[in-house]
Structure 1
């Protein structure tokens, strides 16, 4: 399993983390909203999605330089 993950490009790992976080946060939001906790569901979604974006930036994109040169 680790050999397969090592062959994945860095951008694919970042996209996988974001997709997983959005799905998990979305399911958590849905379940909490259906149970009547709409505000808590929105908070779970926002923290899950925002946390994944921050994690992807910190792990993969923080050291990147986007100079046109």
Structure 2
């Protein structure tokens, strides 16, 4: 989404990052080119959490199947 300012300049808004490590900001902003790497890190963390908390193997977490009776 591009926004046109009052003076005619266009700019793309960047989402504000509020995460902190101690008293310092985690990041100033997240760039568009960083999203793929961050999504990969997030999905890896989710896989690890699901596998550890459920006791499932990684393959079982990655390939869920519907076991409900029809």
TM range (shorter): 0.3 to 0.5
Q: Which structure's residues are more often helix, by fraction? A: 1
Task: Name the TM-score, length of structure 2 as normaliser.
Answer: 0.36
Q: Identify which of structures 1 and 2 has the higher relative contact order when contacts are C-alpha pairs closer than 8 Å and 6+ apart.
A: 1
* Structure number having the greater strand percentage: 2
